[in-house]
Chains A and B, each alone.
Chain A
């Protein structure tokens, strides 16, 4: 079946080092530039509008051994920061020309400038994404911030980011996000036909390829998935929350599913599907994109949302996906997720929604204890 082949292709793609992907793309785009984006949200549209290749910088998982980065970052710092830096030390980003970070947390903030100091050949930009969504000045500010980013690319790489090119890129990424929303809706409806391990690979591959190629693959999947066979199993439906930055090992997602869960919602690759509806492609595209960051955003631990309870978005997600429970999966030492866990858990308790906390690290490789915990949790729900 073609779906399986497509997913296999995604699996191959995400196994490649980011630098190798960039180098391959450059063979067919002589003089082209590749820019990697650290989670959570980066305006990939601005990069693409300059004729560059946007990629996701998502750490190294268990693929590299830390030989330099752990002397730069202490033991109490998350793994994605260290392994992302290690990629630089080991030359595995050769082919990538620029990096974009943003104010998601204090570690990402420091990582950005440490990258710049240690690897001056990269063009490193740090975006300050607005945290005051209600100020009368926020739309202007965000538009200016995206223009500043674009000017940085223009000066560093000699590219041009024009309003018409940005509008086109917004349309392309709108299409990609619409397809991803479609896949999420499909998984809610028929989780037995699309596992989260597969969906993860599809999404991650979309961050490691030119967006035109990603869109074509997503179109193929949308056309073929409904006909896929899949027998419903006796599992509970869960929302996975907390893995929006550091990537959970595939083994962890496999264990969650094997232990009796259909993951019907999650916050994986949240930044690559940030908008709840299409970004307007008319008018000033910088302003439209910037305004959408605050006005069309999914709930996220990395963005202040006024006085709305942090739990509200999660509870809505549970209701919308008809989930039975929530499994919190914050990465070890991830302060945004760990802080939000408290009000989220309190909100779930008020609503009587069961929840479980499972911390992870990207380089985690044994999952038996986790399997045990999940199985016990699932059994307690199935046989209660």
Chain B
């Protein structure tokens, strides 16, 4: 029996820095609620947070709020509150947790979470976003702007797609000028995008370092430390500096050949969002097998930076449009995602694929059985598919998950022994 693998708790610095930055952002939102400074609700996927920053509008990310409540084990009462008014048990629990927060009086005057002044629906792939922001805008009385980003249904976006998105961004700028009472300053946007580029560079470099063995961090479970800064705080000096620090730390770990676990036995690619209500428990199911995620699709919902795309301060609006159209996971087809995962498996030298299928997000999960068919039968990549949810704790069945995960890694270990 191999020695038990332990988590090294290495991530102190990156984890702490990320936490400090996110707390500072939350404190800014609380202050905005008191001072009445403008705020803008926006979604994570393929977002254009830089545009809000260009007008000093504080970004609110309802998805982040919902997931923070989930990881703190506070999501279920909010979900139930939403179900009381008619939301179905079968619909996305992120939406229900957010609307439940509204219904419970957890946002708005007198709370730490302001109502948005503008609800900017960056409709980037996820159809539920449209419903979510329709409901949020109606509930809070905020102005709704629907930024309709055509789905990437051809190998490249069509010229018409780009024109349509740029046109809408121009229309959005007019709305933001009115709301913020500030004139659009393209040089300010360029400056913001320069910070974005630094953060994008750092995030991509961090992920690239996971090609080494052992990987310096778990690109699924630890990636959330970086997803806040890259998606929420992108475009700030603080986020850019954060990634400089992260890269420095990870490069040091690579040089010292240390990773997140005492031993890296299996390198896995993970597909699908994690179960936030049971984050630690779920992680432990893999830790004991020495399984480390060297790449994940979830870490690319906001943007895919590892293939080289960067915002271009010289073409600010066009490059924002391009990022929304092509350089994020959610605006690409599920089969395009197979290509992304295949590349991870090959270039990051993974032993297996783990699919965490969640009920809430059909964009991610609908059809993952086909994904499993493709990887197991056509590529011969050992693949495990397990189900729970990212927000709703009622769908997490630990015993069942443990059985499946243990059986999968036992078989993988056996294969390794035989091959050796």
Interface residues of A (CB under 8 A from B): 70-74, 76-77, 81, 103-107, 109-114, 116-118, 125-128, 130-132, 135-138, 140-141, 144-145, 148, 304, 306-307, 309-310, 330, 332-333, 335-336, 338-343, 345-346
A110 CB contact (under 8 Å) in B148, B158, B334: B334
* Interface membership of B284, Cβ < 8 A: no
Give 6 nearest A-B pairs by CB, closest first.
A137-B167, A144-B160, A113-B333, A132-B148, A339-B131, A141-B164
- Please indicate the chain A residues that have their CB under 8 angstroms from the CB of B185 in the complex: none
Interface residues of B (CB under 8 A from A): 85-88, 90-92, 95, 123, 125-128, 130-131, 134-135, 137-138, 144, 146-148, 150-151, 153-154, 158-161, 163-164, 167-168, 171, 333-336, 338, 357, 359, 361-363, 365-370, 373-374, 387
A123, B80: Cα distance in complex, Å: 44
A140, B126: Cα distance in complex, Å: 23
A-B contact pairs, 18 of them (CB 8 A): A76-B90, A81-B366, A106-B127, A106-B363, A107-B366, A109-B363, A110-B367, A113-B333, A132-B147, A137-B164, A141-B163, A144-B160, A304-B148, A310-B134, A330-B88, A335-B127, A342-B85, A343-B138
Tell me the minimal C-beta distance from B122 to chain A in angstroms.
11
Assess the A135–B334 pair: CB atoms within 8 A: no
Q: Assuming A104-B127, A332-B90, A338-B91, is B370 touching A126 (CB within 8 A)?
A: no
B171 CB contact (under 8 Å) in A130, A136, A332: A136
A74, B85: Cα distance in complex, Å: 27
Assess the B87–A342 pair: CB atoms within 8 A: yes
Assess the A336–B163 pair: CB atoms within 8 A: no
A306, B362: Cα distance in complex, Å: 24
Assess the A114–B160 pair: CB atoms within 8 A: no
A74, B356: Cα distance in complex, Å: 12
Assess the A145–B131 pair: CB atoms within 8 A: no
A201, B130: Cα distance in complex, Å: 33
Assess the A74–B369 pair: CB atoms within 8 A: yes
- Please indicate the chain A residues that have their CB under 8 angstroms from the CB of B374 in the complex: 117
Q: Assuming A128-B153, A343-B138, is B158 touching A73 (CB within 8 A)?
A: no
Tell me the minimal C-beta distance from B130 to chain A in angstroms.
5
B362 CB contact (under 8 Å) in A116, A145, A335: A335
- Please indicate the chain A residues that have their CB under 8 angstroms from the CB of B128 in the complex: 106, 335, 339
B146 CB contact (under 8 Å) in A132, A148, A310, A333: A132
Q: Assuming A103-B127, A135-B171, A338-B91, is B370 touching A72 (CB within 8 A)?
A: yes
- Please indicate the chain B residues that have their CB under 8 angstroms from the CB of A131 in the complex: 123, 130, 146, 148
B88 CB contact (under 8 Å) in A74, A104, A307, A341: A341
- Please indicate the chain A residues that have their CB under 8 angstroms from the CB of B135 in the complex: 339, 342-343
Tell me the minimal C-beta distance from A128 to chain B in angstroms.
4
Tell me the minimal C-beta distance from B81 to chain A in angstroms.
12
A149, B226: Cα distance in complex, Å: 40
A118, B373: Cα distance in complex, Å: 11
Tell me the minimal C-beta distance from A299 to chain B in angstroms.
13
A135, B169: Cα distance in complex, Å: 10
- Please indicate the chain A residues that have their CB under 8 angstroms from the CB of B368 in the complex: 74
Chain A contact residues, majority secondary structure? helix
Q: Which residue of B lies closest to A116 (CB)?
A: B335
Tell me the minimal C-beta distance from B142 to chain A in angstroms.
10
Q: A117-B370, A132-B148 are in contact. List 18 more A-B contacts (CB 8 A).
A: A72-B367, A74-B357, A74-B366, A81-B366, A106-B363, A107-B362, A114-B334, A118-B370, A126-B151, A128-B150, A131-B123, A135-B168, A140-B160, A145-B160, A307-B144, A336-B131, A338-B88, A339-B128
- Please indicate the chain A residues that have their CB under 8 angstroms from the CB of B134 in the complex: 304, 310, 343
Assess the B127–A336 pair: CB atoms within 8 A: yes
Task: Indicate the member of B123, B167, B361, B366 with the most A CB atoms within 10 Å.
Answer: B366
- Please indicate the chain B residues that have their CB under 8 angstroms from the CB of A106 in the complex: 125-128, 361-363, 366
Q: Which residue of B lies closest to A302 (CB)?
A: B127
- Please indicate the chain A residues that have their CB under 8 angstroms from the CB of B335 in the complex: 113-114, 116-117
- Please indicate the chain A residues that have their CB under 8 angstroms from the CB of B366 in the complex: 73-74, 77, 81, 106-107, 110-111
- Please indicate the chain B residues that have their CB under 8 angstroms from the CB of A114 in the complex: 334-335, 367, 370
A98, B137: Cα distance in complex, Å: 39
A342, B96: Cα distance in complex, Å: 11
Assess the B365–A74 pair: CB atoms within 8 A: yes
A340, B86: Cα distance in complex, Å: 10
- Please indicate the chain B residues that have their CB under 8 angstroms from the CB of A307 in the complex: 137-138, 144
A114, B337: Cα distance in complex, Å: 11
A335, B85: Cα distance in complex, Å: 16
Assess the A109–B90 pair: CB atoms within 8 A: no
A126, B334: Cα distance in complex, Å: 13
- Please indicate the chain A residues that have their CB under 8 angstroms from the CB of B130 in the complex: 131, 304
Q: Which residue of B lies closest to A132 (CB)?
A: B148
- Please indicate the chain A residues that have their CB under 8 angstroms from the CB of B167 in the complex: 135-137
- Please indicate the chain A residues that have their CB under 8 angstroms from the CB of B168 in the complex: 132, 135, 137
Tell me the minimal C-beta distance from A85 to chain B in angstroms.
9
A283, B141: Cα distance in complex, Å: 40
A335, B159: Cα distance in complex, Å: 31
Tell me the minimal C-beta distance from B400 to chain A in angstroms.
14
A112, B158: Cα distance in complex, Å: 19
Tell me the minimal C-beta distance from A333 to chain B in angstroms.
5
Assess the A341–B86 pair: CB atoms within 8 A: yes
- Please indicate the chain A residues that have their CB under 8 angstroms from the CB of B90 in the complex: 76, 332-333, 335, 338
Assess the A135–B148 pair: CB atoms within 8 A: yes
Q: Which residue of A lies closest to B154 (CB)?
A: A148
A342, B88: Cα distance in complex, Å: 9
Tell me the minimal C-beta distance from B52 to chain A in angstroms.
18
Assess the B363–A73 pair: CB atoms within 8 A: no
Assess the B91–A335 pair: CB atoms within 8 A: yes
Tell me the minimal C-beta distance from A321 to chain B in angstroms.
23
Q: Which residue of B lies closest to A104 (CB)?
A: B127
- Please indicate the chain A residues that have their CB under 8 angstroms from the CB of B361 in the complex: 106
A270, B338: Cα distance in complex, Å: 34
A76, B369: Cα distance in complex, Å: 12
Q: Which residue of A lies closest to B387 (CB)?
A: A74
Tell me the minimal C-beta distance from A195 to chain B in angstroms.
30
- Please indicate the chain A residues that have their CB under 8 angstroms from the CB of B163 in the complex: 137, 140-141
A81, B367: Cα distance in complex, Å: 10
A73, B137: Cα distance in complex, Å: 32
A112, B151: Cα distance in complex, Å: 12
A331, B329: Cα distance in complex, Å: 28
Q: Assuming A71-B369, A73-B369, A106-B128, is B362 touching A144 (CB within 8 A)?
A: no
A116, B370: Cα distance in complex, Å: 12
